[in-house]
A and B are shown apart, each in its own frame.
Chain A
Amino acid sequence: MKTTRSTAPAPTTQDEYTVDVFTVVNGAPVQWRIDTRTTLLEALRDSSGLTGTKRGCDQGACGACTVHVDGARVLSCLMLAAQADGRQVTTVEGLVGEEGQLHPMQEAFVRHDAFQCGFCTPGQLMSAVCLLREGRAGSDAEIREYMSGNLCRCGAYDNIVAAVREAAGGGA
């Protein structure tokens, strides 16, 4: 996918506390003209209306805001939107197929009741999808360790492990 790279900020067009960011979100090019303070989380939610990514602490300690940047899972609350310039961002909205079909991990989460209130779920899903890519679903203990950056106050951990295990091909 072609990406554009800006040299931010652009002082001639806006005041010096504004930055232009060009990025690709869920496969589509996006441009944000935003306050330099804006985090990637805020830009996704407030500028692009992608509210699936959640703010649970805004301090990098709960994982609810997990998204993929260039294929790696990161905390969008601890990343300036400007730092995503020229990068590929994927959010939970990007997991759904082009015809609206659920991602196998999303299906597994529903089947295993791997959530309750659903608030941490987008972050859990984004972590879980990466976890498989990282090759870290070899055992339940491994899944638990590498999913521990995503808090679930409803306590759905056992079901999340079951969903990840199934999506990893280990059966239900």
Chain B
Amino acid sequence: MTAIQSRPGAPWVGQGIDRVDGPHKVTGTAPYASDVTMAGMLHAVVVTSTIAAGTITKIDTSALLTLPGVRAVFTHENFPRLNTPPVIPFGDTPVAPLQDGRIAFHGQEIALVVADTPQQATEAARLVEVVYAPEPALLDPADGRPEPLSYLPDTHRGDTEAGWAIADVRVGASYRTAENTNNPLGLMGCVAAWDGDHLEMHDTTQWPIALRQTLAAVFGVPESGVRVHVPYLGGGFGAGLNQWAYKLLAAGAARALGRPVKLMLTRPQMFRLVGHRPDSEHQVRLGAARDGTLTMIEHRATSLSSLDHPAVGLLTAGTPQVYACPNVATVERTVRLNRRYPASMRAPGEAEGNWALETALDELAYELGMDPLELRLRNVSSVVHPPSGLPWSSNALVECCKVGAEVFGWSRRDPRPSSMREDGLLIGWGMAAAFYGAYLAMSRARVTVYADGTAAVRAAATDIGTGTYTVITQLAADLLGLSPHQVDFQLGDSDLPAAAQSGGSGLASSLSNAVIDAVTHLHGELLDLVGEGSPLYGLRPDDVVCRDGALCRRDDPATQESIADLLAGQGLLEASGDGRVRLPDPATAGMCHAGGFGARYVEVAIDPMIGRLRVRRVVSVTDAGRVLNPKLARSQILGATVGGIGMALFEETLTDPDTGRVANGTFGDYLLAVSADVPDVEVIFVGEPDRFTPAGTKGVGEIGLVGVPAAIGNAVFHATGRRLRSLPITVDQLVM
């Protein structure tokens, strides 16, 4: 960090200040897309298919147009023709909607009803009559063809068969995870309004710039004329990364009708139209020497995906990264079916892959007669990144494991299954290690200082609840020598400098990098205003800092010029610096850019007679590099822990085997963890600022989920002696 702190309370980075947007959220005044209304706005409701494969032969909508308030019914026969959506890495746009009568999955968008009120549109949508020519649907994974993933090749290091042959102890088993649906509490949707070729959209995207790019391409208008607003959104967990069809439907309808159109999905549609974590199957084989040293790791995994949309994958991406095993192989495939689109969901792939690998390691520990913690410590490669041979830019996994064990009291664990009992309950203690890969994406940011001493930071980022508003405000306050209340961070508007998505746990790192760069450029802009007689004249941007409304010599802060005076001298009211992400070249950096690491310790209590499981304790230790705001970072880990509990014990989106219909697509049938399911979670951060990024951050949004399911499953084994390899672990699996 380059800032010199001066204001009382500084440095702000590292302090657990309250969320700057908190007052808006607790008073109900934070504007979400669903809260937007416009003059003349119409309401649209999506109609979805009731078969999984085939074509629409007839869709009669004429009667609907006579219903009160109904303005239009769009089908593939009359919806505007759309250009093919552009390819956007990690956020692919599904096939453009209503372009033909083909059905690729049950629940697909087949019509759009637009009416004066939501009630009228909803009722008319229910009455749309469709005749299909059904075709046999590919629904059973066993009938599908496993395909490799273009962006995730098989990996090999060493010779796994040789590693298997020399192993003293071997384990191998299959593991499964269920389909989970992101289900942010905020229903996704948008308001679209056109003015000539200009399109304005209020949406629930996690990536305003990608949406702008998509809308411009699909509708054949200049990107400069498309503006996306998302100052707030009701969560996303990955569901807001893709440019889903509903956005194109709303924009197309609004253009055709010449009126603003609001389209909010229903909760059942949230299970079908905005992605999910796909089902996955894993085969893991591990070999180890008698002392626990791993001799081989093999991880084969398959996820399910849809016909028109590739899998998200990444099930095996983390497997070669953590342990210093000479012989490692990963093989990943996907099977395309007539099913709804998968997409990213909090720690995509890694959550599932870690479940398989860290459960297998627990099995290996028991085969070895070794403490599961000891097995991890023996094999963690804490200095060198095993696949590249380069040193990690940071890695505190060993510390995570040790601190967690200490706080949890792991040394008091009797390793024998079913050995710990309390009031008729079986107590189980389990642990797992966690890793989440580093991700950074191009971001820009603009930092502006004003004559009145305040400042603004602007970037087209989003805050999905992770705290972007707050942490960037803190960072900018330190860089500008101001207090957070003097800094206004404006985001959620695609007209602002382009920023990365809220995804991959990379936004804070990317954006802070751009903000640091922007402040350097601001220094240059201000130095440009300095007169020849000034003691600052001729200095370079790195030689100065901003502080209390003055531009100061970095090495002699008393030598300074008032920024207000500098601006006034040139008749200016403000000065800005634009910045972008600047990173060391990975090829020459001489280190491997590390992601987050963690260790999860869990205590479960099981009533074996009735299969009742309660998570009683969680200790979650994370190395996330520099923690910009410990209060908000802790919240991220807490929330991810709740997500991990849900994945382990409750969440499973079920599909009718015969029809491909989502069988439990409501909050009454698909269970999220509730307050009563969650214990007081102990959250601990360890480690040092990462060396690879200027801010030293590694991301906290996803790592907290990774490892929780495996730690729970391992605790279940310790409690019961029963190795459950399929998530979720439910009552019927636990009765003994």
B-binding residues in A (CB < 8 A): 35, 37-38, 42, 45-46, 49-59, 61-62, 64, 91-93, 95-96, 102, 106, 109-111, 113, 115-122, 125, 140-141, 143-145, 147-161
Given contacts A113-B632, A161-B675, contact A154 B23 (CB under 8 A): no
CB-based nearest A residue for B18:
A110
- A-B contacts, 24 of them at CB < 8 A, read A54-B32, A61-B267, A62-B667, A93-B27, A102-B27, A110-B18, A110-B23, A116-B467, A117-B234, A119-B235, A120-B234, A121-B25, A125-B26, A140-B680, A145-B676, A152-B185, A153-B184, A154-B235, A154-B635, A155-B678, A156-B635, A157-B638, A157-B675, A159-B638
The docked-state distance in angstroms from the alpha carbon of A151 to that of B666 is 13
Question: Are B464 and A117 closer than 8 Å at their CB atoms?
Answer: yes
Judge if B534 is at the interface, Cβ distance under 8 Å: no
Residues of B1-55 whose CB lies within 8 A of A: 18-19, 21-32, 34-35, 37
Do residues A117 and B185 form an inter-chain contact, with CB atoms below 8 A? yes
B183 interface hit (Cβ, 8 Å): yes
Complex contact A155–B640 (CB within 8 A): yes
A118 touches B30 (CB 8 A): yes
A59 & B667 in contact (Cβ 8 Å cutoff) = yes
Q: B30 to chain A: which residues have CB within 8 Å?
A: 118
Q: Is B668 interfacial (CB 8 A cutoff)? A: yes
Counting CB contacts under 8 A, is B141 at the interface? no
Q: Are B635 and A159 in contact (CB under 8 A)?
A: yes
B631 within 8 A of A: yes
- B635 / chain A contacts, CB cutoff of 8 Å: 113, 116, 154, 156, 159
Report how far A117 CA is from B30 CA in the complex, Å: 10
Name the residue on A nearest B264 (C-beta). Answer: A55
For the A-B complex with A56-B667, A106-B23 known, give 20 more contacts whose Cβ atoms are closer than 8 Å: A37-B123, A51-B28, A51-B35, A55-B34, A55-B187, A56-B185, A62-B185, A113-B634, A116-B235, A116-B464, A116-B636, A151-B672, A153-B235, A154-B465, A155-B638, A155-B639, A155-B673, A158-B638, A158-B680, A161-B675
By a CB distance below 8 angstroms, the chain A residues around B80 are: none
State the CA gap A106–B118 with chains docked (Å).
Answer: 31
A35 to B117, CA, bound (A): 10
**How many angstroms between the C-alpha atoms of A158 and B464 in the bound complex?**
19
Contact of B666 among A61, A92, A109, A158 (CB under 8 A): A61
Residue of A nearest to B21 (CB): A118
A52 touches B642 (CB 8 A): no
Question: Do residues A54 and B186 form an inter-chain contact, with CB atoms below 8 A?
Answer: yes
B325 to chain A, nearest CB (A): 33
Interface of A is mostly: loop
8 shortest interchain CB distances as A-B pairs: A52-B28, A155-B642, A119-B234, A116-B465, A118-B25, A155-B639, A117-B465, A61-B667
Which residues of B have CB within 8 Å of A158?
Answer: 638, 678, 680-681
* Residues of chain A lying within 8 A (CB to CB) of residue B183: 153
In the complex, the chain B residue whose C-beta lies closest to that of A153 is: B185
Chain A residue numbers with a CB within 8 Å of B674 are: 148-149, 151, 157
Contact A59 B185 (CB under 8 A): no
Query: Bound state CA distance, A31 and B466, in angstroms?
Result: 39
B404 adjacent to chain A (CB < 8 Å): no
Check A155–B119 contact: CB distance below 8 A: no
CA distance A150 to B672 in the complex (A): 11
Report A-chain residues with C-beta under 8 Å of the C-beta of B18. Answer: 110-111, 113
Among A38, A151, A152, contact of B119 (Cβ-Cβ < 8 Å): A38
Which chain A positions have C-beta within 8 A of B667?
Answer: 56-57, 59, 61-62, 151
Question: How far does the alpha carbon of A56 sit from the alpha carbon of B638 in the complex, in Å?
Answer: 21
Query: Of the candidates B184, B233, B678, which one forms a contact with A157 in the assembled complex, judged by CB atoms under 8 Å apart?
Result: B678
The reply to whether A156 and B639 contact each other, CB–CB distance below 8 Å, is yes
Please tell me if B266 contacts chain A, counting CB pairs below 8 Å: yes
Closest to B618 in A: A158
CA distance A50 to B28 in the complex (A): 8
Give the most central of A56, A117, A161: most B CB within 10 Å.
Answer: A117
Q: Do B26 and A148 touch (CB < 8 A)? A: no
Cross-chain contact of A121 among B26, B117, B233, B638 (Cβ < 8 A): B26
A59 to chain B, nearest CB (A): 6
Pairwise interchain contact A116-B234, C-beta atoms closer than 8 A:
no
Beta-carbon contacts of B302-316 to A below 8 Å, as 1s and 0s?
000000000000000
Please, which residue of chain B has its CB at the minimum distance from the CB of A15?
A: B68
A106 engages B26 (CB within 8 Å): yes
Chain B residues in 8 Å Cβ range of A122: 28
CB of B267 within 8 A of CB of A115, answer no
CB B491 to nearest CB in A, in angstroms, measures: 14
**B675 contact from A35, A93, A148, Cβ within 8 A:** A148
User: Within the complex, what minimum Cβ distance (angstroms) separates A121 from chain B?
Assistant: 5
A52 and B27 in contact, given A59-B666, A59-B667, A110-B22 (Cβ under 8 angstroms): yes
With an 8 A cutoff between CB atoms, is B160 at the interface?
no
Does the CB pair A144–B184 fall under 8 Å? Answer: no
Q: B650-686 CB contact bits vs A (8 Å, 1 = yes)?
A: 0000000000000000111000111110101100000
A117 and B26 form a contact (CB under 8 A): no
Kindly list chain A residues whose C-beta atoms are within 8 Å of the C-beta of B267. 56-59, 61-62
| Cβ-based interface call for B237 (8 A) | yes
Within 8 A of A (CB), among B251-281: 264, 266-267
Chain A residue, CB-CB nearest to B704: A155
CB distance from A130 to the nearest CB of B (A): 15
Q: B713 within 8 Å of A by Cβ?
A: no
Question: Is B194 on the interface with A (CB-CB < 8 A)?
Answer: no
Q: In the assembly, what is the distance between CA of A56 and CA of B666, in Å?
A: 11
A57-B267, A116-B639, A121-B26 given; A110·B675 CB < 8 A: no
B640 with A61: CB separation less than 8 A: no
Return chain B residues, CB-CB under 8 Å to A111.
18
Is the C-beta of B728 less than 8 angstroms from some C-beta in chain A?
Answer: no
- Whether the Cβ atoms of B678 and A117 lie closer than 8 Å is no
User: Within 8 Å of chain A (Cβ to Cβ): is B85?
Assistant: no
